[in-house]
């Protein structure tokens, strides 16, 4: 009997066809194009200069690759999948990393590797020499002729691997000395696309930059701010000062003296005004922006050609052009936001604690801080960066190769770089701002008395010959400390007998809060037990808890409140000056002094420094500013009430101007008040942090008070460009500058948002059903773009729906830039889909790219069509303006007759 023996099965890991081919070709030494990285993008991986012995040694290691990482082969030689269950404890480089890493093989060779230097990741990508290519080609031909397939060489033993690694070390030892000299050479790589974008943007932004020599829209505001910097005069703005500081630095370098006489939009600039230099910084930042967008798109993984498209869209958008040619902040804001995100992406790709990691992190943090130091809308980009940082740290938790200590160290380092450093930079910018503006200016009245007193030339009556402590007989003005600027005020007019809603009043003398300095703002502090109000040689100071009366200086009637509903706030009590109609109500004239900051300033009532609440003795209500404006019978002044709810900042008052009463004669006393000096001239001391915190509070609370404007718009009108803004119109012709974007770009980019949402939802639903239509790399790129650009768009667009103040089209510019970048990804992704699923139909790929090129031609055509209202250099007729009015909601300004303008 003949027994046939079964052939013994050998275990072979399950690979797909592509990986089998990679392993077999690697073992046989055959040339395989898939093993060769793109030479253009990976020149640093070239190994043409390796000795034949080195190549042979690495080929031996390559044949063992199927044993590594649980049978997975991800790179041509070694690329561990970082699986914690991998039997080989190997540390290798990512295939797209440019870092230097160590290749660690089993324990038997670790001692030898400790004495050898690290193997560069570039050596793991083999490029056969000419002889190797010939031998590989001959083997392929012989294999095809015989019709047989050569099997991979058997895995070498550990001794063989040792010998292979020794050959690598020997090859390095005998390396040509000229190769070491190359490490000391500086190589400069210029990206021609980036320089092309910069050149195009520079020409378009700087063309006739000094035209028009008239104030254009918000140039009126920013020009005045720069002039105040030149004269060191304090000014108030609701946005941080960095952008104005940069422009002021350039203006000072050319000798600008701060002479600014423009009174309104359209006013001509004087010949001595350095208009070109004032517009230089915005124009230069606008010139750099397209290249910055190009680098950001390329860094996030979008192809070079599509990244170039993104930069060109910024160049050929008319709204971007207009904002960059004027003394405005948007171009600086957008540049800092874009570069901040670019360096953040590079930061997360850098090796931890490497010099590039540190430099990219510092650059990103500084630029993101600069963004919201120009305009507060840049804070949304900072929030986006924080979101990306938190997501990066969260993803680290899934990396089994990272220890707990490493993750904690990463978190602490990034907290310092992106939280502590921005605070330091932000404080430094305001430190320069407040130290430069040390003189009193036209806007200091919006701040508290203490702040005004810290300025040179501010509040003379407080700092010059004015008593510090309030006493019985003091003549004072009481100012509302926080929020709106106004003083406690009264006049001889009385409340109406009945209000329009039928409620009755006390018909006593009105008490209001008046936003201007006036003689009727003076009050006299009087203790109830004294009849004489003259201050003697030993003043009796008012302390916390004392009971006083406040007598109006001009009418001599005492401050009073009672159980009568206030005019506009019926849930509060009316405040009036008491008129004696034969009814004795002396108890209602008494007020208790409550010093809220006595722990810091002491229990004696002091001028400026002490913040007080005046509590009515009979009712327990506090004197309060209600923020409501009285109708015509109250002369449009602000309502003052008394509220039983004594908390909040609207019940806080402070003494601003102060003097002692020296004459008991009423007529002489009133004459002194009428002639009193009320113009400030002298400074007092206030710390930087006190001034900084107060200024921040005022910037937040007062910002956005513009309620209506002819060219204001709502956020729903922005994506489809429904409203523009008339920036400037010539007084001699219909030449004008009108803020409008390139309508082709705006509409298609808006459409791309919905396309992105649709494809993301489609892929997500398909992946839930385990249907993977795109490879993992493209899915990761899709998610990364969503986290960066789509989230950036939402963060810069949605908050405006909750804003009460007037909004304009230029508020949409940051969101628009994110929308452009999201559109570029959409274009690139559709190109990927066509190449993936329509490979046999090459005409479809070419047709799609031709369609994109045709669309670009349309973009340039529309851009050129609207250049006359972007530069304002062309004298347009009414017919030509009507031809540009593509939407009925676009309101252009034209001259119907000499000196007469109208909106069409």
Quick one: what percent of the chain has pLDDT higher than 90? 46
Sign of the alpha-carbon dihedral angle for 234, 236, 237, 238 = positive
Cβ partners under 8 Å of residue 102, min gap 6 = 91, 113, 118, 119
DSSP per residue over 336-382, as a string?
Answer: HHHHHHHHHHHHHHSPTTSHHHHHHHHHHHHHHHHHHHH-GGGHHHH
In angstroms, rounded to a whole number, what is the distance separating the alpha carbons of residues 545 and 846?
86
Same domain, 399 and 528: no
Q: Nearest to residue 737, comparing CAs of 711, 713, 707? A: 711
In a shared domain, residues 488 and 390: no
∠ Cα 586 659 601 (to 5°): 85
What is the DSSP-derived secondary structure letter of residue 529?
T
Q: Are residues 524 and 623 in the same domain?
A: yes
Q: Region 94-118: what's the mean pLDDT?
A: 39
- For residue range 130-163, what is the model confidence (pLDDT) as tens digits? 444 444 444 444 444 444 433 444 444 455 555 5
pLDDT at res. 409: 95
Rounded Cα distance between 622 and 617, Å, is 9
Name the residue with higher pLDDT: 249 or 113: 249
Same-domain status, 544 and 617: yes
| pLDDT of amino acid 466 | 74
Q: In the predicted model, what is the mean pLDDT of residues 302-311?
A: 95
Look at 41 and 743; give whichever has higher pLDDT: 743
Same domain, 535 and 412: no
Among 405, 436, 464, where does a domain finish?
464
Q: In the structure, what pLDDT confidence band is assigned to residue 120 with cuts at 50, 70 and 90? A: very low
Per the domain annotation, does 654 fall within a domain? yes
Q: Give tens-digit pLDDT for 163-199.
A: 555 655 555 555 555 555 565 677 788 899 999 999 9
The Cα 600–Cα 615 span in angstroms is 21
The reply to whether 225 falls in a domain is: yes
830-833: long-range contacts at Cβ-Cβ below 8 A with a sequence spacing of 24 or more? 831/303, 831/306, 832/774, 832/778, 833/774
Q: Report pLDDT digits (tens) over 527-560.
A: 887 777 788 778 889 999 999 999 998 888 889 9
In the structure encoding, which two tokens stand for residue 134, read together?
Answer: 């010939």
The pLDDT value recorded for residue 189 is 82
**DSSP string computed for 736-762:** EEEE---HHHHHHHHHHHHHHHHHHHH
Domain boundary among 424, 440, 464: 464
Question: Residue 578 has what pLDDT?
Answer: 79
The tokens 């703002």 sit on which residue?
A: 521
Q: How confident is the model at residue 382 (pLDDT cuts 50, 70, 90)?
A: very high
The backbone torsions φ and ψ at residue 486, rounded to the nearest 5 degrees and listed phi first, read -165, 165
Report yes or no on 502 lying in a domain: yes
User: Is residue 552 a part of any domain in this protein?
Assistant: yes
The model carries a pTM of: 0.70
pLDDT for 173? 53
Residues 6 or more apart in contact with residue 600 via CB below 8 angstroms? none
pLDDT band at 450 (very low <50, low <70, confident <90, very high): confident
Q: How confident is the model at residue 122 (pLDDT cuts 50, 70, 90)?
A: very low
* pLDDT tens profile 560-573: 988 889 988 889 99
Q: Is residue 507 within 8 Å of 564, Cβ to Cβ?
A: no
Distance from C-alpha of 705 to C-alpha of 697, rounded to nearest angstrom: 15
Range 577-588 average pLDDT: 67
790 — pLDDT class (breaks 50, 70, 90): very high
Burial of residue 22, with CB atoms counted within 10 A of its CB: 0-12 exposed, 13-18 middle, 19 or more buried: buried
Show the tokens assigned to 884.
């540009």
> With bands split at pLDDT 50, 70 and 90, how would you rate the model's confidence at 787?
very high
What string of DSSP letters covers 675-687? T------------
Residue 410 within any structural domain of the chain: yes
Q: What is the model's pLDDT at position 175?
A: 52
Top-confidence range, 51-65, 353-367, 506-520, 626-640: 353-367
Asked if residue 781 belongs to a domain, the reply is: no
Q: Which of 70, 122, 71 is nearest to 93 (CA)?
A: 122
CB-side exposure of 727: number of CA atoms within 13 Å? 26
DSSP-assigned states of every residue in 384-440:
HHHHHHHHHHHHHTT-TTS-HHHHHHHHHHHHIIIIIHHHHHHHHHHHHHHHH--B-
For every residue of 680-739, DSSP letters joined together read: --------HHHHHHHHHHHHHHHS------TT---GGGTTTT---EEEEE-SSSS-EEEE
Task: Compare 661 and 735 and report the one with higher pLDDT.
Answer: 735
pLDDT digits (tens, 9 = 90+) for 827-880: 999 999 998 887 667 888 899 999 999 999 999 999 999 999 999 999 988 899
Report, as an integer, the average pLDDT of 732-746.
Answer: 93
Contact (Cβ atoms closer than 8 angstroms) between residue 824 and residue 309: yes
> Residue 58 and residue 499: Cα distance in Å, rounded?
97
Instruction: Specify whether 460 is located in the same domain as 541.
Output: no
The CA angle 233-236-237, to the nearest 5 degrees, is 130
- Tell me which residue range forms the domain holding 527: 474-660
Q: Does the pLDDT at position 816 exceed 50?
A: yes
Q: Is 3 exposed, middle or buried, given 0-12, 13-18 or 19+ CB atoms closer than 10 A? A: exposed
User: Are 511 and 492 members of one domain?
Assistant: yes
What whole-number distance in Å separates Cα of residue 162 and Cα of residue 159?
5
Q: What share of the chain in percent tops pLDDT 70? A: 73
β partners of residue 367: none
Comparing C-alpha atoms, which of 483, 495, 361 is closest to residue 422? 361
Span 674-695, mean pLDDT? 67
**SS3 assignment, position 95:** coil
Give the CATH number of the domain where residue 515 resides: 2.80.10.50
pLDDT of residue 837: 85
CB burial readout 613-638, b (16+ within 10 A) else e? bbbbeeeebbbbbbeeebeeebeebb
Are 451 and 493 in the same domain? no
Angle between helices 813-837 and 776-785 (to 10 degrees): 170
How far the first Cα of the chain sits from its last, in Å, is: 109
User: How high is the pLDDT of residue 183?
Assistant: 57
Q: 18-27, 236-245, 680-689, 729-738: which range is least confident on average? A: 18-27
pLDDT of residue 259: 86
Name the one residue in this structure whose structure tokens are 């523009």: 724
Distance of CA 746 to CAs 453, 585, 741, 811, Å?
A: 50, 70, 7, 15
Spatial distance between the Cα atoms of 623 and 523, rounded to a whole number of angstroms = 15
Beta-sheet pairing, 559-565 with 487-494: unpaired
Q: Are 234 and 440 in contact (CB under 8 A)?
A: yes
3-state secondary structure of 477: strand
Q: 535 with 647, same domain?
A: yes
Angle, alpha carbons 862-867-871 (nearest 5°): 160
Of 615, 633, 660, the position where a domain reaches its end is 660
436 in Cβ contact with 455 (< 8 Å): no
Q: How far is CA 214 from CA 317, 615, 801, 894, in A?
A: 23, 54, 34, 17
Q: What is the DSSP string of 481-503?
A: -SSS--EEEEEEEE--SB-TTS-
For the chain, how many structural domains are there in total? 2
Nearest partner of 318 among 720, 875, 744, judged by Cα: 744
Q: What is the pLDDT of residue 126?
A: 36
Q: What is the pLDDT of residues 474-514, one digit of tens each?
A: 889 998 888 777 889 999 889 998 888 888 888 889 999 98
Within a domain: 234: yes
Looking at the predicted structure, is the pLDDT value of residue 344 above 60? yes
Judge if 430 and 563 occupy the same domain. no
Under DSSP, the state recorded for 789 is I
CA distance 558 to 509: 10
Residue 407 has pLDDT above 60, yes or no: yes
Find where tokens 């320069």 sit. 432
Instruction: State how far the alpha carbon of 346 is from the alpha carbons of 110, 296, 360, 687, in Å.
Output: 33, 10, 6, 40
For residues 35 and 126, is the Cβ–Cβ distance under 8 A?
yes
**Are both 490 and 634 inside the same structural domain?**
yes
pLDDT of residue 412: 96
Phi, psi angles (nearest 5°) of residue 576: -145, 175
Q: Is the peptide bond before 212 cis (omega within 30 degrees of 0)?
A: yes
> How far is it, in rounded angstroms, from Cα 781 to Cα 779?
5
What average pLDDT does the segment 809-817 reach? 95
Comparison of pLDDT for 383 and 96, the residue scoring more: 383
Alpha-carbon span 166 to 161, nearest angstrom: 9
Local confidence band at 285 (pLDDT 50, 70, 90 cut-offs): very high
**CB within 8 A of 296, min separation 6: which ones?**
338, 339, 341, 342, 345, 821
Amino acid 584: pLDDT: 58
Q: CA 737 to CA 215: how far, in whole Å?
A: 11
**223 close to 303: Cβ distance less than 8 angstroms:** no
User: Quick check: is 793 in a domain?
Assistant: no
Question: Could you give the CA distance from residue 636 to residue 512 in angstroms, rounded to a whole number?
Answer: 10
Is the separation of the CB atoms in 466 and 659 below 8 Å? yes
Residues 618 and 655 in one domain: yes
Taking all residues of the chain, what is their mean pLDDT, rounded to a whole number?
79
Higher pLDDT residue, 714 or 162?
714
The answer on pLDDT for 759 being more than 60 is yes
Q: Are 495 and 567 in contact (CB under 8 A)?
A: yes
| CB distance 788 to 348 below 8 Å | no
Instruction: Return the pLDDT at 814.
Output: 96
- Angle at 829 (CA atoms; ends 826, 833), nearest 5 degrees: 135
């Amino acid at each position: 009997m003949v027994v046939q023996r079964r052939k013994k099965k050998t275990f072979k890991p399950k690979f797909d066809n592509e990986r089998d081919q990679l392993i077999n070709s690697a073992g046989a030494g055959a040339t395989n194009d898939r093993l060769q990285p793109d030479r253009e993008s990976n020149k640093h991986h070239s190994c043409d200069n390796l000795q034949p012995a080195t190549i042979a040694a690495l080929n031996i290691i390559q044949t063992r690759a199927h044993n590594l990482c649980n049978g997975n082969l991800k790179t041509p030689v070694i690329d561990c999948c970082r699986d914690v269950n991998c039997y080989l404890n190997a540390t290798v480089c990512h295939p797209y990393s440019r870092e230097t890493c160590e290749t660690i093989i089993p324990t038997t060779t670790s001692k030898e590797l400790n004495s050898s230097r690290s193997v560069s990741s570039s050596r793991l990508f083999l490029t056969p020499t000419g002889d190797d290519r010939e031998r590989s080609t001959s083997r392929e031909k012989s294999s095809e002729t015989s019709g047989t397939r050569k099997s991979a060489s058997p895995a070498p033993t550990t001794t063989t691997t040792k010998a292979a690694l020794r050959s690598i070390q020997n090859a390095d030892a005998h390396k040509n000395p000229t190769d070491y000299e190359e490490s000391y050479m500086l190589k400069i790589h210029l990206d021609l696309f980036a320089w092309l974008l910069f050149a195009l943007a520079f020409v378009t932004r700087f063309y006739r930059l000094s035209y028009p020599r008239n104030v254009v829209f918000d140039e009126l505001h920013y020009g005045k701010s720069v002039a105040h910097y030149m004269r060191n005069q304090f000014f108030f703005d609701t946005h941080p000062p960095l952008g104005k500081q940069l422009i002021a630095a350039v203006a000072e370098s050319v000798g600008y003296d701060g002479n600014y006489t423009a009174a309104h939009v359209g006013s001509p600039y004087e010949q001595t005004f350095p208009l070109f230099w004032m517009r230089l910084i915005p124009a230069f930042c606008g010139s750099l922006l397209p290249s910055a967008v190009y680098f950001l798109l390329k860094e996030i993984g979008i192809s070079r050609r599509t990244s170039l498209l993104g930069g060109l869209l910024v160049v050929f958008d008319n709204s971007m052009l207009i904002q960059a040619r004027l003394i405005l902040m948007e171009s600086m804001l957008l540049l800092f936001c874009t570069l901040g995100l670019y360096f953040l992406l590079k930061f997360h790709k850098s090796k931890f604690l490497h010099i590039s990691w540190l430099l990219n992190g510092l650059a990103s943090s500084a630029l993101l801080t600069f963004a919201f130091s120009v305009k507060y809308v840049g804070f949304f980009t900072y929030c986006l960066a924080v979101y990306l940082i938190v997501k990066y740290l969260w993803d680290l938790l899934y990396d089994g190769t990272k220890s707990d200590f490493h993750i904690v160290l990463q978190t602490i380092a990034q907290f310092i770089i992106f939280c502590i450093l921005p605070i330091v930079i932000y404080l430094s910018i305001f430190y320069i701002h407040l130290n430069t503006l040390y003189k009193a200016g036209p806007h200091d009245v919006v701040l508290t008395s203490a702040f005004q007193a810290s300025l040179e030339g501010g509040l003379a009556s407080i700092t010059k010959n004015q008593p510090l402590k309030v006493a019985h007989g003091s003549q004072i003005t009481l100012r509302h400390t926080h929020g709106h600027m106004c003083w406690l005020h009264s006049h001889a007019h009385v409340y109406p007998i009945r209000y329009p809603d039928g409620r009755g009043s006390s018909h006593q003398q009105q008490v209001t809060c008046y936003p201007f300095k006036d003689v009727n703002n003076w009050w006299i502090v009087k203790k109830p037990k004294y009849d004489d109000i003259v201050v003697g040689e030993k003043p009796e100071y008012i302390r916390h808890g004392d009971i006083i009366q406040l007598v109006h200086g001009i009418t001599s009637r005492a401050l009073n409140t009672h159980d009568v509903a206030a005019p506009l706030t019926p849930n509060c009590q009316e405040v009036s000056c008491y008129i004696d109609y034969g009814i004795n109500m002396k108890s209602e004239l008494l007020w208790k002094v409550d010093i809220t900051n006595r722990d810091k300033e002491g229990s004696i009532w002091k001028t400026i420094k002490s913040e007080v609440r005046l509590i009515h003795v009979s009712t327990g209500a506090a004197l309060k500013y209600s923020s409501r404006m009285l109708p015509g019978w109250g002369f449009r002044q602000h309502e003052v009430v008394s509220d039983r709810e004594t908390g909040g900042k609207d019940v806080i008052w402070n003494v601003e101007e102060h003097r002692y009463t020296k004459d008991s004669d009423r007529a002489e006393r009133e004459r002194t008040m009428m002639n009193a000096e009320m113009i400030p001239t002298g400074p007092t001391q206030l710390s930087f942090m006190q001034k900084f915190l107060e200024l921040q509070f005022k910037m937040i609370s007062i910002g956005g008070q513009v309620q209506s404007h002819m060219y204001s718009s709502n956020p729903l009108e922005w994506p489809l460009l429904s409203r523009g803004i008339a920036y400037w119109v010539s007084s001699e012709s219909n030449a004008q500058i009108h803020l409008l974007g390139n309508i082709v770009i705006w509409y298609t980019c808006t459409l791309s948002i919905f396309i992105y949402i649709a494809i993301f939802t489609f892929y997500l639903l398909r992946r839930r059903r385990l249907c993977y239509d795109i490879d993992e790399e493209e899915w990761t790129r899709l998610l990364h773009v969503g986290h960066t650009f789509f989230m950036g768009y939402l963060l810069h667009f949605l908050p405006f729906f909750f804003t009460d103040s007037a909004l304009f089209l230029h508020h949409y510019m940051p969101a628009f830039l994110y929308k452009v970048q999201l559109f570029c990804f959409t274009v690139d992704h559709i190109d990927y889909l066509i190449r993936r699923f329509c490979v046999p139909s090459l005409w479809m790929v070419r047709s799609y790219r031709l369609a994109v090129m045709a669309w670009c031609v349309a973009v340039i055509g529309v851009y050129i069509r609207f250049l006359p209202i972007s530069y304002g250099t062309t004298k347009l007729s009414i017919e030509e303006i009507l031809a540009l009015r593509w939407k009925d909601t676009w309101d252009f300004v034209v001259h119907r007759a000499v000196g007469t303008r109208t909106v069409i």
